[in-house]
Each structure stands twice: as structure tokens, then as C-alpha cells.
Amino acid sequence: MKIALIIIFTFILGSIPFGVIIAKVKGVDLKKVGSGNIGATNVLRSLGKWPAALTLLGDVLKGTAAVAIGSYFEIGIFYEGLAGLSAILGHNFSLFLGFRGGKGVATSFGVLSSYSPQTALFTFIIWLVVVILTKYSSLGALVSFGLLPVCIALLDSNEKLPIIILITLFIIIRHIDNIHRLIKGTERKIGQRA
């Protein structure tokens, strides 16, 4: 019962659409500008650096808090990861947006920063290198999270691998459209205005 309540709560927590809230304060409907995505990259293109930074912080903290809640209630490594995964699903399929949402990169990183801090660091470094070299946030996410199961296997416990594989799969699935645009050469780069 305790685990079920935590999973439900972390889904609701993950559902909070910080990008949409911040954009609304600025008088912008985020779902109707740029890529239509609710994440920090679209906020950056549509509203600028500070709103994007606040969105990023909020989305990361949702994931971090979800795992921390699981840890606080001592539900075990697997279920802590499941609580984090629930927050990611909440972000991707928000209760407050008719079960639509973002791609879950920032929230997934937040989960990872609590669930496996050393792996989170390597994931961030890989993302950063790819983004600096290519200017594509989506490609950075695909490469860094694509390598995540390998990083976990090398740096952390295999007990965490099932959750990590699911996180990787969700990132790839949510980026299918980006993959098509990257192949066609039509994907927007970071900083490119909407």
C-alpha cells in the first residue's frame, strides 16, 4: 500500500508542467509556440534563458524528489527507481495536460542524480560534449541516455539496470520525431529561435 501511494504521488508530482506554468506567467501558451514541447529547450527558444533555467530546475527537481521520497520511506532500490520512473511518466503524460507532456530528459536526469549520482555525472558530461559539438539537445539526450545502461553496468549496481533500461527506452521513444528530423537535417539547434 505504501509503495502504491508513493507511485501515485510521484506521478502527480511529475505531472506538474513547470514550463507551461512559467510560460503562462509570461502570457505565452507554450504548447502553441516553437516545437510545442513543454520542456526547457522549447522554453529557451520561445522565452529566453531565465524562464528556461527555471523550467529546467523544476523538471530536474521533480525527478530528484521522487527518488528521495522513495529513499526516505525505505522502499528499496528497485521501488525507489520505480518512483522516479513514475515521475518521468507523469512529466511525459501529465495529468494536468490531458495526459500529454514533455520528453522527460530533465526529469530523467533528476531521477538519475538521486538514483545513481556518479552515473548522472557521466551522463551529463556525455550530453554536454555532444551538445557542444553538434548544438543539438535531442542528439545529446539520445547519445547520453543511450549509453546509460552501459554506464550503470560499469559504475553502479546491476540491481538498478531494469529501471535504467526503461528510462533509456522512454527517452528514445519520446524522441522518435527528433530522430526523423535529425536524419532529414531539419532538427532545430539549441538557441535557434522559434
Half-sphere exposure of 7 (CA within 13 A, CB side): 10
Q: For residue 170, which of 21, 2, 14 has the smallest C-alpha distance? A: 14
What percent of the chain lies above the pLDDT cut of 70?
98
The reported pLDDT for the residue numbered 126 is 97
Mean pLDDT value of segment 44-60: 92
Q: Which pTM was predicted?
A: 0.93
* CA pair distance 4, 43, nearest whole angstrom: 33
List pLDDT tens digits, range 172-187.
999 999 999 999 999 9
Whether residue 194 has pLDDT greater than 60? no
Whether residue 119 has pLDDT greater than 70? yes
The overall average pLDDT reported for the chain is 93
Whether residue 192 has pLDDT greater than 90? no
Buried b / exposed e over 53-70, threshold 16 CB at 10 Å, is ebbbebbbbbbbbbbbbb
List pLDDT tens digits, range 84-113.
999 999 999 999 999 999 999 999 999 999
* CA pair distance 22, 138, nearest whole angstrom: 22
Q: Where are the domains of the chain?
A: 2-184
Rounded (10°) angle between helices 18-25 and 40-47:
20
Mean pLDDT value of segment 152-168: 94
Query: Residue 142, class by beta-carbon neighbours within 10 Å (0-12 exposed, 13-18 middle, 19+ buried)?
Result: buried
Mean pLDDT value of segment 11-31: 92
